[in-house]
Structure 1
Amino acid sequence: MADPQTIKEAFERNRKAIELRPSVGQSTALTKVRVRDGTTCEIESGSKTLVCDVGKIEGGNDAGPGPGIFERSALGSCLAIGYAQQAAVMEVPIDNIEVQVESEFDARGQFGLSDDPPGFKALRYRVMIESSAPEETVRELINKADARSPVLDDFRRPIPVERKVEITSTRVKTS
Structure 2
Amino acid sequence: MTSALDPRPLVRLFAEHPGRAAARFAAAHDLTGPTRVEVSTGSGHRFTVDEPASLGGADAAANPVEYALAALGSCQAITYRVWAALLGIAFDRLHVAVDGDIDLRGFFGVDDGIRPGFGAIRVKVTIDGPETAERYAELTAAVNRHCPVLDLFSNPVPVTHELLIPPPA
TM-score, reference length from structure 2: 0.92
Q: Which of these residues, 132, 141, 161, is aligned with residue 130 of structure 2?
A: 132
Mean alpha-carbon deviation: is it higher for 87-96 or for 45-54? 87-96
Is 1:17 equivalent to 2:13 in the alignment?
yes
Instruction: Count how many residue pairs are aligned between Structure 1 and Structure 2.
Output: 167
Residue 157 of structure 2 aligns with which residue? 159
Which ranges of structure 1 fall in alignment gaps of 5 or more residues? none
Alignment partners' CA distance in 2, 1:145 and 1:111: 35
Match of 2:80 in 1: 83
1:112-123 matches, cutoff 5 A: 112-115=109-112, 116-123=114-121
Q: 1:31 and 2:23 equivalent?
A: no
Larger Rg computed on CA atoms: 1
Deviations 1:109-140 (A, max 9, x none): 11111011111111111111011111111111
1:147 to 141, 145, 150: 145
Q: Equivalent residue of 2:116, what SS?
A: coil
- Classify the secondary structure of the residue corresponding to 1:37: coil
Give the aligned residue type for 1:55. P
Q: Deviations over 1:25-49 (max 9, x none)?
A: 1122211111122221111111211
Separation of aligned partners in 1, 2:106 and 2:148: 28
Structure 2's unaligned 5+ residue stretches are: none
2:39 equivalent in structure 1: 43
